């Protein structure tokens, strides 16, 4: 196993551990990535970064790209 593969495996295991701890607290990671037009307030969600890039090609305005966040897994959260 190369050093790069070992790093990837360690990151994957660490991510899994973090997701399990969050789940125990009632939190889950949101899927996808968001783009918000700062001029109009429009918000769009995409499953991956390449689809977001394709969407933004040729669009004017100021755009904010938001990475996935956390949300409560159950109703009745904060």
Q: Would you say residue 75 has pLDDT above 70?
A: no
For the stretch 22-51, pLDDT in tens is: 888 888 777 788 899 999 999 898 988 899
Same domain, 10 and 42: no
* Residue 14, CA distances (Å) to 9, 17, 19, 49 in order: 9, 5, 9, 22
E runs forming strands in 1-78: 27-29, 33-37, 43-46, 63-66, 70-72
Q: What is the pTM of this model?
A: 0.53
Same domain, 21 and 35: no
What domain range is 52 assigned to? 31-71
Closest CA to 37 of 5, 76, 63, 8: 63
Copy the structure tokens of residue 34.
Answer: 């968001």
| Residue tagged 């973090």 (tokens) | 18
Question: Is there a domain that residue 78 lies in?
Answer: no
């Amino acid at each position: 196993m190369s050093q790069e593969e070992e790093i990837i495996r360690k990151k994957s295991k660490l991510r899994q551990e973090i997701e399990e701890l969050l789940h125990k607290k009632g939190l889950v990671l949101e899927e996808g990535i968001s783009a918000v037009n700062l001029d109009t307030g429009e918000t769009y969600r995409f499953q991956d970064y390449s689809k977001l890039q394709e969407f933004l090609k040729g669009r004017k305005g100021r755009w904010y790209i938001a990475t996935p966040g956390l949300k409560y897994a159950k109703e009745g959260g904060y």
